[in-house]
Each structure stands twice: as C-alpha cells, then as structure tokens.
Amino acid sequence: MGEENLANLVREHSSAVIRHAAATAKRMGLEASELSALEHLQAAGPMTLGSLGERLSMSPGALTALVDRLEKKGYVERLPNPKDRRSALVRETEAGLKDSLKHLWPYIEEMKSIEGRFSKEEREIIARFLSAATEATHRHAGTPGGR
C-alpha cells in the first residue's frame, strides 16, 4: 500500500466520521455542532464557555445559544467555576452521557471488535499513526495539542 493510498483511506475515514456524527446527531434530535460540543465535554471534562468556543470555533453569542439549547434538553449544566467566580463551567449531565452512549454504543462495540483483529504490535503501529494524524488535524484546525 503506497502513501497516497493511505492518505486517501484517511480522507475517506474522516468523511465517514463526519457522516456518522451527522447521522448520530439527527437520531438524538441534535445539531452536529451540539453533538460536537458533547464530544468535547466527554473528552476533556467540564470547561468554560470560552474554552468550548475555541474548540468549536464558535463566536461567544452562537456558543451561548448552543449551550442554552443543550441545557434546555438536559444534556449539559452550568456550574460555578471554582477558579474564577466571574465565569461558569459547562459539563455534560449524567442523563446526557447516558443518551449519548445509548446512540454510540453499537459503533463503539464494532470499533472494539475491529481493534481485536490486530496483534499488539499492529495496534501499536496504528496507534502511533492515528496519534500523529490527530495532532496534525488539530494543528490545521488551529488548536495545537488540544482535543
């Protein structure tokens, strides 16, 4: 397999991930940006509106509206920020996490099954590649090292 072929496979996988996220959001009654916000909160934990806005590349006004919608649907809650009384943290609620997992679990299970088909050595190589590709993607999105 040549490098160009691998690059094409990564591009095809990225397109499939975007399609899967859009379909999952639709099944959950969410917009793709709302599901993306939940994914960031799941990966990084509670964060300020500013941090979440940076990750989503959204203006403060658009982000506030997004968080308001998610809060109204019961997916997130705002908490006092213990490090700065002037700001709040946003975190996913337990109900939000449960609903997300209900929709994502079949995909997660299938991905685990695929992973199990590779040897430990192959998984290490794949992990190195995916880690490097993820870092490159974050750099080109303007969030070096962030998730």
Counted domains in the chain? 1
CATH at residue 99: 1.10.10.10
Q: Find the domain containing 79 and state its range.
A: 15-115
Residue 139 has pLDDT above 80, yes or no: yes
Chain mean pLDDT for the chain: 91
Domain assignment present for residue 9? The answer is no
Domain assignment present for residue 133? The answer is no
Nearest residue to 146 via CA among 56, 86, 84, 77: 56
User: pLDDT class for 104, splitting at 50, 70, 90?
Assistant: very high
Domain assignment present for residue 92? The answer is yes
Domain assignment present for residue 137? The answer is no
Domain assignment present for residue 93? The answer is yes
pTM: 0.82
Distance CA 141, CA 11 (A): 15
Residue 123 has pLDDT above 90, yes or no: yes
21: tokens are: 């996220």
Domain assignment present for residue 8? The answer is no
Higher pLDDT, 133 or 70: 70
User: pLDDT class for 3, splitting at 50, 70, 90?
Assistant: low
Identify residue 118 by its one-letter amino acid code.
F
Q: pLDDT for 47-98, tens place per residue?
A: 999 999 999 999 999 999 999 999 999 999 999 999 888 889 999 999 999 9
Domain assignment present for residue 124? The answer is no
CB distance 25 to 35 below 8 Å: yes
